[in-house]
Amino acid sequence: MKKDIHPSYGPVVFRDRAANHAFLTRSTMTSEKTIEWEDGHTYPVVDVEISNVSHPFYTGTARVLDTAGRVEKFEKRYGKKRG
């Protein structure tokens, strides 16, 4: 492996502001902001808009929307293949 070409890899806190949830992991991402974690150490924090805690797919609130019969319109135009 070549030296001095890879980004530093270390502990980072990702914080989901919408769900008020944070988790500590390792990443190459960096941030000027820091947070004191439960273990008493200070880590860089990266704010994200959505995570597995607030994403509709993972929370079970996801819905499939078929506005104006788009599926039926597609099947009518291109034919429904059964196989």
Q: 48 burial class (0-12, 13-18, 19+ CB within 10 angstroms)?
A: middle
Question: In this predicted structure, what is the pLDDT of residue 75?
Answer: 81
d(CA 6, CA 74) in angstroms, rounded, equals 47
- pLDDT per residue, tens digit, the chain (83 aa), is 788 899 999 999 999 988 889 999 999 999 999 999 999 999 999 999 888 787 767 677 766 666 667 777 888 888 866 65
Model confidence, pTM = 0.64
